[in-house]
Every structure is written in C-alpha cells, then in structure tokens.
Chain A
Amino acid sequence: MIRSIAGQTVHVNEEGFLTASEEWTREIAEEIAREEGIAELTPAHWKVIEWCRAHAVNGRSPTLRQITEGTGISTKEMFALFPKGPAKKVARIAGLGKPEGCV
C-alpha cells in the first residue's frame, strides 16, 4: 500500500509499518509518533529509535529484550517512553518491520 506521511509518499503494509526503511525521515517518525499517541519525541525516544535503526536485521526492528540489553534502558522506561507495546511502537516509528520475536 501507499500512503502519504509528513508530505512524503511511502510504502506501508496493512498494519501501517513502512516496508522500505530507506523512505523513512525524522519528520515521518514524528508524525507516526503522534498517531501512536506520543506528542513529542524527546532525546530519550531518539536514542531508542536510532539504536533500533542501526541494529535492524533485514529491515526488522530488534525485540524489546534486545533493545533493553543493547541500550541499557530498562523495560520499565521503555513502557514509559512508548506506552503499550514498546517494541512494536518503536518499530513503526523507526520505519522498520515488526520485530521477529513475534512468531
């Protein structure tokens, strides 16, 4: 599917995840974050987003466990930053696929 986010045309799947991570921009991240109920992306959010983009494998975002171990941010903080399903939420905001832990 194709949709427009932050004035850009991007490819997404039926769950709203970008399917081509190179189409992602910081503006897109901010708009998806608002859709996910996060009004503003703080430096703490960006740290996680950037770490996930750097550690994506085949376009898929890392799992929550990999994020907490890799960044040193606790699970509790992750839930405060990205409420409800943090790993899935970060994946969407970071323009990546759902983590592979979900099978």
Chain B
Amino acid sequence: MKQLVILGAGTAGTMVANRLRRTLADDWRITLVDQSETHYYQPGFLFIPFGIYSQRDVVKPERDFVPPGVEFVVSPIELIEPERRRVRLSKDGRSLDYDFLVIATGTHIRPDQTPGLAEHEWRRSIFDFYTLEGAVALAKHLRIWKGGRLVVNVVDNPIKCPVAPLEFLMLADWFFRERGMRDRVELIYATPLSGAFTKPIAAKHLSNLLQEKEIQVVPDFMVERVDPDAKKLISYDEQEVAYDLLVSVPLNMGAEVIARSGLGDSLNYVAVDKHTFVSPKYPEIFALGDAAALPTSKAGSVAHFAVECFAENFVHYVEGLEMPHKFDGHANCFIESGFGKALLIDFNYDVEPLPGHYPLPGIGPLTLLKESEANHWGKLMFRWVYWHVLLKGRPLPLPALMSMAGKWQHN
C-alpha cells in the first residue's frame, strides 16, 4: 500500500483528493485531514456584509465532497515530521505515515499581529470580512450604521484574493447609494501599495473606476498600529488615517503548524518549485493553494489551475517519470464592481492583466478589465460551479494554462 496524505480540506485539498482518487490505482491509500468538518465558500464572504448572501449560502459539510475511497480525518494537525515522513495529529495522539504529502493548509488572517486591531473595539468599530464570523458581524453593523468615514485597510501583502478589498469598496459604494445615504459616507482605501493594484495596467483601469465611484485611495500606507480609542490608523512613518468604521484585511499568514514543523518562510508559506510545486528539500512533499510560497495571486482560481497541472504530473512523478506540465501561475479573477456589474482579469507569472476578451467555451466571451453584466453573472454563477463542479474535481471548460487569445497587448 502506498500512502498519500493531504493536509487541509479547503479548495485545493478537496480538489486534489477528488482528482487523485480517480487517477491513482487501488493500492494507494488517500487520507485527507482538516480541523473543520465544514467547508467554506470563501469568495462568498464578500457578499455577506451587504446582505446579498447569508451564512447558509457559503457553508456545506466537507463530507459531501469527500469521494469514496478517501479517508477524511477531522483533527487539528500538530506537527509534520519530514525526516520521518510522518504527520502527528492532535486528536487521539494519532499519527499518519506517508509516502507523499500534499500541504494545502491555506492562509489565514492574523489580527493579533497589529497592535490595537483585535482588542476591545474588535467587531464593534473594527471588522474583517475574511472570516465568516467577521462578515456576519459586519453585516449586522452595516444595517444600523449611520454613516461617517469607512476605511478599508490592507495591513500587508500578500493577501488572499488581492482584489477583494477593492470589491468590498465598490460594493459599499453601491450599497450606500441604494440606501440613499452615500452623501453621509466617505469611502477610503489605505493600502501599502503605491496604487490600487499590483500590476500597472490593471492598477490604472481600477484606479479610474475608484475615482468614478468617489473612493479615495491613500497609497504607500503601511500600518504599524491602530489606536482603537482615538479611532485612527498610524503608519510606520507616522501618517495617520482617521476612521469611524474600520474594515481591516489583517496580515495573512500560513498555518502555524508549518512554522512549528520548520517548513515555512517568515509568513509560514512553504517554499516549492513554482512550476511543479515540489519542495526543493523534500522530494515527497508538495504544497498547493494559498499555503505555497508562489509569485502569483493567492486565489481559488489559481488553486484550481494548479491542481489540474499537479494531478496530471503526480501520476507520472510517482512512476519516476518526468512531469509533463509546468504551471505558469495562471490566475483568473472576477472583480465585483457594484450595480450588477463586474470586471474580469486573467494573468500569470509573466503576463500582467490586459484588456480584451476572455474566450469561455459554451458561454461566450467575457470582457477583460472592463465592467459588464455578464461578468457579474459569471461571478455569481461561480458559487454553483464551485460546489458542483470544481470541488469534485470535474473538468471545467477553462484551460489550466493561460491563453493569450483575445487579449490586447501594446508594445
């Protein structure tokens, strides 16, 4: 019997389990471990504060997605012992031996890393929407909020879904206009980046859009601490941004177990080859999804494209054959912009997001870097696709490697 252990049953881990159970022979045991029995559709968290989705829409039991022939173990992971090829679990002192290990423990917000953030004003005047509890608490607060300065702050990059803060602001603009109180709300985006987004062409398109929606950007703002009583953010170079309502995207860090096991960098991400996801130190360890230290966005779409490459490679790799695919960092993100519209961006390690069209077989082209209603429906439809197609590792009509078809490039 050969043993494959998958750590983390989120987007990446669940897809890997489904894909590999179909392609690996019966002499492979597959074990999937997660501390939680619940699977969260995290992209849906964005819509909760505005009452578009509720808690019901974004949770399902993980067991619904675990295929027959995969053992699902619910327990916190205590320690990975790469030299012994063993994983220790917290529950019942159980340990799992492996021949191959896939680390897919994701990334999580760490409000504790910024002084003043997660103290007495947490979930009173300071909120997050990167957790279900945070998004639900914020929804309650927004229903009764009278207006004032709403500041969205990203503590540091990388964060998962780097466009989510912008989407939040654009949805907030829509939300307050619908309620007839936009004139009583200031919307401010304080970001450590020098513009609205990381890649220059997309940053320009997005900052025009923010300007149209009267969302003010405070660039190069690296927060050092929050003063929860004076209600202000203070940066490392002593700039201050005052708020009435702070929506923070706290520092994102990989799981603590990665650090404990000596496998992480300073943010607990696992170093792996960016084309094959193999650890340079341990050839039987792979890291996929947000847990991996890769120079592309931490997003569900990236996890999906990565898993497609990985799953086909893995069956060759375990036979000692060369891996046929090289991952290119493909990311594909809908950006919800309010009023029933959205943008779409598509990029990889080498090509930044460009305007043009995205050919979607069977559905038709979606517009890139430009608002459209079709993109908005694409984003909402994605929840259905996630639960019914993606997690179960069924094929989607999207190419895993990026295509330049339909993109406009100026030279």
Contact = CB atoms under 8 A, between A and B. Distances in A.
A65 B110 CA distance: 15
A80 B157 CA distance: 20
Contacts of B192: 85
Interface in A77-102: 78-80, 83-85, 88, 100-102
Contacts of B266: 65-66, 69
A80 B158 CA distance: 23
Interface residues of B, number: 20
B267 interface: yes
Given A65-B156, A65-B267, A76-B224, A103 B162 contact: yes
A15 interface: yes
Given A14-B200, A103-B296, A76 B236 contact: yes
Contact of B236 (A14, A69, A75, A88): A75
Contacts of B297: 103
B237 A80 contact: yes
Contacts of A83: 237
A79 B237 contact: yes
A75 B193 CA distance: 15
A93 to B, nearest CB: 15
B222 interface: yes
A84 B295 contact: no
A84 B194 contact: yes
B193 to A, nearest CB: 7
Interface of B: 156-158, 162, 192-194, 198, 200, 220, 222, 224, 235-237, 266-267, 295-297
The 4 closest A-B pairs by CB, nearest first: A100-B295, A79-B237, A84-B220, A79-B236
